[in-house]
Amino acid sequence: MREPARSTVTAEQNAARFDVIVVPEIPVMWRAACAICANRADAEDLMQDALVRAFRFIDGFDGDHPRAWLLTIVRNTYRNRGRRRRPGLFANGEIPESVDVRASQPSAEDELVARDLDDRVDAAVRSLTPKLAQVVALVDIAGFTYDEAAATLGIPAGTVMSRLHRARKQIRARLDRHPDLGGTRS
C-alpha cells in the first residue's frame, strides 16, 4: 500500500507566500466583504473565514491572478455561510474620505445642503434592488473595477456594467424628481 504524496512545501514557505500574495490584497477583500455583508461584524467574520481558507489553500494556488482568486474565496465563503445577501451601504458612515475636510470649512448653509443631498442620495441607493445596490457599493463606493466586482459577485463583467447603468439611471431619476435638486417633476 502506497502512502499519500506529501507536500514538500513547509509552513514557513506557505506563510511567506501568504505574505506576498494575500496580504497586499486584504484591503480589496475587506471592501468586498463590506459590500456583500449586512454589517461590519458580519464582514469581519467573513474576512476571518476567507483569510483562513486562503492560508489553508495557499500551497495549491498557482500564483496567477491572486486578486481574482481571493475575491472568489470571499464570495464562496459568503455563500457557504448561508447568509442572505444584503448590501451594507453607508452602514456606519465608514466610507473613506479622500478629501481633506480641514482644507476649507464650509458654511453652515453649505453643510445643511450637503447633508440633505447626502440623505437623498442615500435614500436613492437604498431604494435599489439588492443586486443593483451591490454593484453600486462595489464599483461606485468601494472603487472596484468591473472585473473585480464581477469576480466578487460571481457574474460576468457585462452584467456588472448593465446593472451599474440601470442603478445609476434609477438614482438619477429619483434625484431628478426632487424640486430642490433641479428636478422639474414632483
Task: Please tell me the predicted confidence (pLDDT) of residue 120.
Answer: 78
- pLDDT of amino acid 100: 43
Determine, yes or no, domain membership for 162. yes
Verify that 76 and 120 share a domain, yes or no.
no
For position 49, what pLDDT does the model report? 92
pLDDT at 55: 92
Last residue of a domain, one of 80, 100, 121: 80
- Is residue 1 one of the residues assigned to a domain? no
Q: How do the pLDDT tens digits run along the chain, 186 residues long?
A: 444 444 566 888 888 899 999 999 999 999 888 888 878 888 899 999 999 999 999 988 888 889 889 988 988 888 887 644 444 444 444 544 443 444 445 566 656 555 666 677 778 888 889 899 888 888 887 788 899 889 888 999 999 999 999 999 998 888 887 655 555 444
Q: Which domain holds residue 173?
A: 108-181
- 96 within domain boundaries: no
Orientation of helix 26-36 relative to helix 40-57, angle to 10°: 130
Same domain, 71 and 120: no
Q: Kindly give the residue spans of alpha helices, DSSP state H, lying in 25-156.
A: 26-36, 40-57, 66-80, 108-126, 130-135, 146-153
Other CB atoms within 10 A of residue 45 CB: 16
Whether residue 59 sits in one domain with residue 18? yes
pLDDT at 103: 44
> Helices 146-153 & 157-176, crossing angle to 10 degrees?
100
Residue 27, pLDDT score: 92
The reply to whether 89 falls in a domain is no
pLDDT at 138: 85
Residue 30 lies in a domain: yes
The residue behind cell 464599483 is 139
Pick from 64, 80, 96: which residue ends a domain? 80
Q: Note whether 140 and 86 are within 8 A (CB).
A: no
Does some domain include residue 93?
no
pTM over the 0.95 mark? no
Report the 10 Å Cβ neighbour count for 167: 23
Q: Would residue 3 count as lying in a domain?
A: no
Residue 88 in any domain: the answer is: no
CATH no. for residue 21?
A: 1.10.1740.10
Domain boundary among 60, 80, 100: 80
| Burial class of residue 168 in the structure, from the number of CB atoms within 10 Å of its CB (0-12 exposed, 13-18 middle, 19+ buried) | middle
Clarify whether residues 76 and 112 are in a common domain.
Answer: no
pLDDT of residue 44: 92
Number of structural domains found in the chain: 2
90: left (phi over 0), alpha (psi -120 to 50) or beta: left
